[in-house]
Amino acid sequence: MDFQSILSAATGEHGLAVNPWAAIAYLIAGVFFILALRGLSSPATAQSGNRFGMMGMTIAVVTTLLTHAPVTVDGALDAIGLIEILVAIGIGAVIGIVMARRIAMTAMPQLVAAFHSLVGMAAVAVAAAAYLNPQAFGIADAAGQIYTVSRIEMGLGIAIGAITFSGSVIAFLKLNGNMSGAAIMLPGRHIINLGTLAAIIGLVAYFTVDQSPWVFWTVTGLSFLIGFLLIIPIGGADMPVVVSMLNSYSGWAAAAMGFTLGNTAMIITGALVGSSGAILSYIMCRAMNRSFISVIAGGFGADASAVSSGSKEQRPWKPGSADDAAFLMSQADTVIIVPGYGMAVAQAQHALREMGDLLKKEGVTVKYAIHPVAGRMPGHMNVLLAEANVPYDEVFELEDINGEFAQADVAFVIGANDVTNPSAKTDKTSPIYGMPVLDVEKAKTVLFVKRSMGGVGYAGVDNDVFYMDQTMMLLGDAKKMTDDIVKALNGSGH
C-alpha cells in the first residue's frame, strides 16, 4: 500500500478526518482547548490553562500533519514538501518564542492585535488559494465548479478574515501610538458602513450562483475596507472591547476556513475562540455601559461632538511627595490601590507589591481595585499584578470593591485616569459618559501618581479628581515614585 492509500484511509471527502484515531485525537485536542479557556479565566490557573492550550495545539498539529501529509503524483510521501512545512513551523516557533521573551507587558495589547491580523490574513490566504485551485482542496467537481456549500464557507471566511486583518491593523496603530486614540468620525460613516456591509452580504450570496473572479475579489476588497472603517471611529475608552471583539472575529474566520479545509480541529478551535471572544466582548460592554451592537458596528452610537480635544483649563491642585504619601498610608487603616496603564508603562508592579507588603506589616489593610478595562486589553492589570506575585485574594473587580472607597482612608491611584474619572457619571459630552468608574473620589484621601499635569488619559479627557481638596498629586515616573515611597516606609521619618 502506497502512502496515498494510507492517507486516503485516514481522510474522507475534502480531507475531513474520518479515521477514528484522528477523530479521537482532534476530540482530545478540543477538550484541552476547553480546559485552556477555563484555566485562563483566573490568574491563579492561567499557567495551567496555557499548558493545556499548548498540549491541545501540539496534538492538533501532529494529527493534521499525519492525516494531511503532502504526497507526490504517484502517491509517495513528498519529503521535500514535508520538510518545507516543518521548516515553516520551526521559523514561526522561533519568531514566537523570541517575541514572547522580549515583548514588554505594556506592548502586549498591540501584540495581541498584531496576532489577530495574522489570523485574519491567514484565512484570506487560504480562501484565495482554495478559490484559485479548488480541485486541489477537493471542493470542486471535474469541471472546476466549486460546490455551493464551499462557496458559502469561502465567502464567509474571506470576508471575516479580511475584516479581522484590516481592523486589527487599525487597532494596532491606535494601541501603539501611531494613530490617535481619539475616535475619528468620518462624515456619513453610518451610511458608508451599512452600505458596504450590505454590499458584502449581497455579493457573498451572489457568489453562490456565480464564482466569477470579480465577485470573489470585490468581496475581498470591500471586506478589507470595512475593517478599517469599523475600527477608526472607535475611541480609546472602547479599545479593550475592540481587542476582545477582534479576537472573536479571528476565531470565526478560522472556523470558516476549517470547513473549507475539512479540518475539524480548526472548526472546534475557531468556534471556541469566536464564541468566548463574543461573550467576553458582551460582558465588557455591559461593564462599561456600552451598547454591544454600537461598538461592533464601529461606534454607531458615538457622537462626534462628544470627542474631546484634550484641552484643559488651569485649576489649582495640591502637590505631594513620596514622604507625604508614605506617612499618610502608614497611618491609614485601609488603603485601596488602583493600578492603570501608567503603572504598566513604568513597570512599577513589583515596587507596588513591595509597597503593599510594607504597609501590611504595619497593620494596614491593602486591597487592589481592578477596572474591567484598565490598561489596553482585558485582564491587563490582573496579569501585571500576578507577575509581581500580588496575592489573588487582595485583588478585587470593580463591582466587588467600589462600595468600599467611602470607608477607605487612602485611595492610591497609579496611572489610572479614565477608569477613575467622575465625569463619566455626570458629563454627557464626555466620550466616557455612562462608563462605570471606580469611585476613588469618595476616599478620605486620594494619592494620584501621574507623570505630569499636562497629559490626559487615553480617552483624551481631564480628570476632576486631580483638583479635589482631598487629592494629593504625586508627579513623576510611577516606578520611581513608588520606589521612593518604599524607601520612605523603610526609613524612620514617617
> Quick check: helix, strand or coil at residue 180?
coil
Determine the Cα–Cα distance for residues 39 and 33; give it in Å rounded to an integer. Answer: 10
What CA–CA distance (Å, rounded) separates 87 from 84?
5
Spacing of C-alpha 299 from chain mean position: 17
Mapped onto helix, strand or coil, the DSSP state of residue 162 is helix
**Kind and range of the H or E run holding 475:** strand 471-475
Q: Is 323 a catalytic residue?
A: no
Nearest to 449 by CA among 349, 332, 316: 349
Phi, psi of 375 (to 5 degrees): 90, -150
Torsion over CA of 338, 340, 342 and 344, rounded to 10 degrees? 110
Which residues are CB-contacts of 133 (< 8 A; sequence separation ≥ 6)?
Answer: none
Cβ atoms 18, 11 nearer than 8 A = yes
436 within 8 A of 424, measured Cβ to Cβ: yes
Phi-psi region of 430 (alpha: psi -120 to 50; beta: other; left: phi over 0): beta
Reduce the DSSP state of residue 481 to 3 states and report it: helix
Grid coordinates representing 242 are 475592540
> Angle between the 239-261 and 108-132 helix axes, to the nearest 10 degrees?
30
Active site residue: 141, 409, 418, 477, which one? 418
Q: What angle do CA 477, 480, 481 make, to 5 degrees?
A: 80
- Quick one: cell of 345? 508603562
Q: Which residues are catalytic?
A: 418
